[in-house]
Chains A and B, each alone.
Chain A
Amino acid sequence: MNVLALYKKSRPYSSYVIFGVLLALAPLMVNLGVLRFFHLTLIAGVVIYAIVALGLNLLMGYAGLVSLGTAAFMGVGAYLTAFFTQDLGMDFLPSIVLTVVITSILGILVGLLSLRVEGFFLAMATLAVAEILRQVFIEFTGFTNSFVGRTANFPEFFGFTMNRNQTFILLVVFLVLAMFVTQSFANSYTGRALSAMRGSEAAASAMGINIFKYRLIAFSVSTAYAGLGGALYMHFIRFTFPNVWMFTLSLMLFAVVVIGGVRSVAGTVVGAFVVFGVPDLILVNIPVIGDINGMAFVFTGVLIIVVVMYYPAGLIYIWHDIKVLVHKVRGRGKV
């Protein structure tokens, strides 16, 4: 029963909505004084990175591919939406749509360049592409304003501009939508094709699955998530410069997926909280440890290694294993 539960295809859409509603109460908590102002920024960061990591999870968990350029693709999304809304005067929604479309096309181009070689090569190629994009962020001054950085506004719809709290709620709405979309993608025939490909390339191609095409789809979808995340970042934080989108951020997003749980929507959200929330919310408050330089990195890095070696399904299954344990203990008690 315990293992079977892992495979039971639950469609927990209603719990996503409940989760979203609870999360959307955070601004209220700030107003009531339960949370502090900076907590909201922190949670917004977790929400944005969770969206991006959901896309990365589709790529890693289902297609079995690793991308190390996620941060750079987020950067592209951030600069694009800044360009569309500030320079071209577009509204928030068309700008977001256009940004997502362009980043996913960029994903297809990078995929075309790198996915013909074995699957492992994507990680290296995205590493190189991320360096190229970083150079672009620095050098294309007219578009990115280089190290001075670019600004953007809170989202604007038809002349109405949202405030910070409203934007936060919008982020939560996007997260819930992303969770919904990720879950249905995973359960679709495309999701199955990706699983098949990761499980056995030979069997997948014998079943008519074009490996290259599906790798391309997976990668392009994951860059679209990254572009969306970058654009949302831009409209909440409202400022960006090249050093935001460095390799370390890509690594942290990668860590989110590994630590939280590959192939798990809820796990990804938990992972985003562990990687982006725990160090700033909890670690810094611990005496002595909180003052040590680099503690957050060591914490995340060690967690990755420990999870891969001892808990490969990700931390999300701790909850599940506890339930199984309780079930067993109770069962024994009855007999």
Chain B
Amino acid sequence: MSIFIQILFNSLETGSILALATMGIILIFRTSKAFNYAQGAISMFCAFIAAYFMANTGANVFISTIVGVLGAVGVGVIIDRVVIKRMIKLHSVSKQIVTLGLVIVFLGLAPMFFGNIPYTYRRFAQGTHSIFGATITYSAMVNIAIGIAIMVALFFVIQKTKWGLAVRATASNDVVARMMGIPTSIVTMGAWAVAAALGSLAAMMVAPTTTVNFVMMDSIQITALLACVLGGLGTFFGPVFAAYLIALARNLISFYISSVWADAIVYLLILGILLISPNGIFGKKLVKKV
């Protein structure tokens, strides 16, 4: 029982972190029609901003995190205005190439601004609590709460508000949306800002365990991309659900089979599932028009 609760809580925590990153990627995929390979690198860079701020001002973790998230919003807006806005007409493969170029840019910018040494990052809360014999850290609870709260809030915004409608309209057909008077360029800019913020939040949540370094987001980025495909690219809900599911699977594998090979086994499992069901677990078969 205690083991089960422990695994469940761990999965909820890693799931929340992964879900934030996944949400960022799917948001950009739906509005800009491109997989953002740079999200992990952008998040890493923004975690550096927060950690650098924390180290140099002695600010507490909440203020540093807010600084990091604001930095991410700024970075997102700059990327959209400088790069993405100019490539609306490009083929989606070209857009993907551009996001890969961005990865390299941020891998260069991070050492340029912050040097080559990793930073530490404090947890949101200290101490632990015992539930049914399982040890749950307060910081895990905060991470879970933040993750779930943000997911719920985002789904509410997307489904129920005028801005959410604009996002969904842009996602379903940006040309028609523009003709209907929806400011798709602002929607896209907002999507990049929000996505960067979500990813950076995820980065700052893992930072206490990984330290802030250049490769801190690599495995989250890969898993989040796979979660998008596994959950089906047609919805916002599917990928987020897949993110929690993957986190659960990973924790189970890591506990019962092997912690060293957990990532590898999860990747192979996802590849296997997609081999059988190429449109993801919730995806519908799209009929291509010829």
A128 x B226 contact (CB < 8 A): yes
A308 within 8 A of partner (CB): yes
B290 x A202 contact (CB < 8 A): yes
Q: Which residues of chain B are near A303, meaning CB under 8 Å?
A: 101
In the complex the two chains form, what is the Cα distance from A308 to B99 in whole Å? 11
**What sequence of 0s and 1s flags, for each residue 59-78 of chain A, a beta carbon within 8 Å of any chain B beta carbon?**
00000101010000000000
Q: Which residues of chain B are near A120, meaning CB under 8 Å?
A: 35, 92-93, 96
A258 x B97 contact (CB < 8 A): yes
B226 x A297 contact (CB < 8 A): no
**What sequence of 0s and 1s flags, for each residue 284-327 of chain A, a beta carbon within 8 Å of any chain B beta carbon?**
00000000111111111111110011001000000000000000
Q: Which residues of chain B are near A294, meaning CB under 8 Å?
A: 107-112
Q: Which residues of chain B are near A132, meaning CB under 8 Å?
A: 263-264, 267-268
A135 x B96 contact (CB < 8 A): no
A280 within 8 A of partner (CB): no
Interface residues in B183-219 by Cβ distance below 8 A to A read 215, 218-219
B97 x A304 contact (CB < 8 A): yes
Q: Give the segment of B14-22, B124-132, B156-164, B271-279 that binds chain A.
A: B271-279
CB distance from B103 to the nearest CB of A (A): 6
Q: Which residues of chain A are near B290, meaning CB under 8 Å?
A: 202
**What sequence of 0s and 1s flags, for each residue 64-84 of chain B, a beta carbon within 8 Å of any chain A beta carbon?**
000000000000000000010
In the complex the two chains form, what is the Cα distance from A252 to B115 in whole Å? 21
CB distance from B170 to the nearest CB of A (A): 20
Specify the chain B residue showing the minimal Cβ separation from A299: B108
B46 within 8 A of partner (CB): no
Specify the chain A residue showing the minimal Cβ separation from B34: A120
A97 within 8 A of partner (CB): no
Q: Which residues of chain B are near A246, meaning CB under 8 Å?
A: 215
**What sequence of 0s and 1s flags, for each residue 114-155 of chain A, a beta carbon within 8 Å of any chain B beta carbon?**
101110110111011101100100010000000000000000
A298 x B261 contact (CB < 8 A): no
In the complex the two chains form, what is the Cα distance from A114 to B272 in whole Å? 9
A16 within 8 A of partner (CB): no
A255 x B101 contact (CB < 8 A): yes
CB distance from A141 to the nearest CB of B (A): 12
The list of the 6 closest CB pairs from A to B, nearest first, reads A297-B108, A304-B101, A301-B104, A301-B105, A294-B108, A298-B108
Please give the residue numbers on chain A whose beta carbons come within 8 Å of chain B beta carbons, in ascending order.
64, 66, 68, 113-114, 116-118, 120-121, 123-125, 127-129, 131-132, 135, 139, 202, 246-248, 251-252, 254-255, 258, 292-305, 308-309, 312
